[in-house]
Amino acid sequence: MFEFLRKARVSETAAEQVPEAKASAVGPLTAGRISGKLAVIGQQHGMRDGVSLLRAGFLGNPVGFRAVKLISEAAGALPLVAQDCERRFETHPVLNLITRPNPAQGRAELFEALYAQLLLSGNAYLEAVRDETGRVQELHVLRSDRMSVVPGPDGWPVAYDYTVGAARHRFHVSEGRAPICHIRSFHPADDHYGLAPLEAARRAVEVHNAASNWSKALLDNAARPSGAIVYKGPEGQGVLTTEQFERLQAEMEAHHTGARNAGRPMLLEGGLDWKPMGFSPSDMEFQKTKEAAAREIAIAFGVPPMLLGIPGDATYANYQEANRAFYRLTVLPLAQRVTASVAHWLAGFIPGDVALKPDLDQVPALSEEREQQWRRVGDASFLSDAEKRVLLGLPAHVEGP
């Protein structure tokens, strides 16, 4: 899969620079900015601060995990069609390539990984493996946290560096054709990298995880808040000797902490008194805080909270309506943007201007909506057949033999 892993080191030569007939006037400013300090950040750009946010928001958070899986699996399972302005293709080199992109993955697995990388890091990278003739043989999704952009003097990427440990491989952009398809989410403060939903929901993830950790610690303490042991002593002298303090601390750690000691009664000798401290879960409105954090995470990803089982959300009348909104507002815009980028990128290797997009007529969640649209367009007598086909997302008929 990764040819560069068979190379111990690759010399870090200057990237090939393709002369541009036209370039942005602010391109050199962008290039100078990222080639300095931000170039170092870019090498570890996957989650902005390494993999900590990935672990906290996806590996260690059920809401973030389910939201990413729900979107990536739904978008990856969408049936795709290839068409141009004249007809829809039953067979085409682009369809053949994405149907079997590599020996280890099919179309759904490849696009699921691509969407997941985009959701988790704001960036997705697709590699084209070509043979000696330049024909694309395989497609592979590369990890975003290992990839960095190498900008040229005009600000446009001239290469992509993929780093694994001490080994690095540089993918050069040659003659306007890049072996890497870089898809990124919009970021208002970055010229080369996208913004991940996890970054926008960082505080909500921290609150949700802290609430889960607090619940776990509370359960380990028999679901009781912490407290203090007060020693009054004879004649009100509340001072323990060093021996008494160490003995009391050892007994507390041995017999009254941990899950196995939950609920064990405490035996206090003369002069000792237990004073509970802290707020009860009801006083802190603990459950509402956790649900609010979960709802914010779902909103950042664009998933209706109802689909994630988060209570207290009545935005949609029923589950079916929430699922339809999920496809219409989240899954389809993401899939249409990604497939359009992939088709535009593959046009540099495969001749022909072909559009790649989801087949909306085969999406069960949109069946009722599509049926109404077909009926409405079909009944429009003032439209020609070609205009009706275009409105339904089909190529228009071509007149002639």
Tens of pLDDT, residue by residue over 313-348, are 666 678 888 888 999 999 999 999 999 999 999 988
Residues 76-92 have pLDDT tens digits of 999 998 888 778 888 88
Within a 10 A sphere around the Cβ of 321, how many other Cβ atoms?
Answer: 13
Q: Two tokens at 211?
A: 């609430």
Whole-prediction pTM value?
0.75
Q: Which of 67-71, 191-195, 229-233, 240-244 has the lowest mean pLDDT?
A: 229-233
The residues that bridge with 281 in the sheet, in sequence order, are: none
Residues 138-167 have pLDDT tens digits of 999 999 989 999 998 888 889 999 999 889
**If DSSP codes are grouped into helix, strand and coil, which group holds residue 229?**
strand
Sign of CA dihedral 41, 47, 48, 49: negative
**If DSSP codes are grouped into helix, strand and coil, which group holds residue 228?**
strand
CA-to-CA dists, residue 152 to 107, 171, 189, 217, angstroms: 33, 13, 19, 52
Domain range summary for the chain, segments of one domain joined by + = 3-196, 227-277, 366-401
Residues 349-396 have pLDDT tens digits of 888 788 898 988 888 887 777 777 778 878 788 788 777 777 777 777
Question: According to the model, what pLDDT value does residue 250 have?
Answer: 76
